[in-house]
Amino acid sequence: MSDQVNRFLGDSLGRTLIKLIVVSLIVGFVMTIFGLTPWNIIYGFRDFVLEIWHRGFSALGRVGDYLLLGATIVIPLFLILRLFSYHR
């Protein structure tokens, strides 16, 4: 069992824990310097997803406007052309 844990972690359990503690301290220090908190990161990601969501629907709204505008010309022309070709 210990060999499987060591293989999974890449080193012994104690050395891996020490490495994780040191890296966590360094990352925590850097995040403090930049004024980041875990909640800022989570809320930032949430806001990013919501912004993409809202912009996506507004883009679809513009596509829908273009579709309706083009359809006011294309569909009557299509119907007229079909009626003229129907008599042949």
CA distances from 4 to 1, 10, 20, 23, 77 (A): 5, 10, 19, 24, 72
Between CA 32 and CA 30 the distance in angstroms is 5
Please say if the pLDDT value at position 8 is more than 80: no
So what's the pLDDT on residue 29?
92
Going by C-beta distance under 8 Å and a sequence separation of 6 or more, which residues neighbour residue 19? 11
So what's the pLDDT on residue 25?
93
So what's the pLDDT on residue 49?
86
Contact assessment for residue 16 and residue 10, using Cβ atoms and an 8 Å cutoff: yes
So what's the pLDDT on residue 24?
92
pTM (2 d.p.)? 0.49
pLDDT digit string (tens) for 35-82?
989 899 899 999 988 888 888 777 667 777 788 888 888 888 888 888
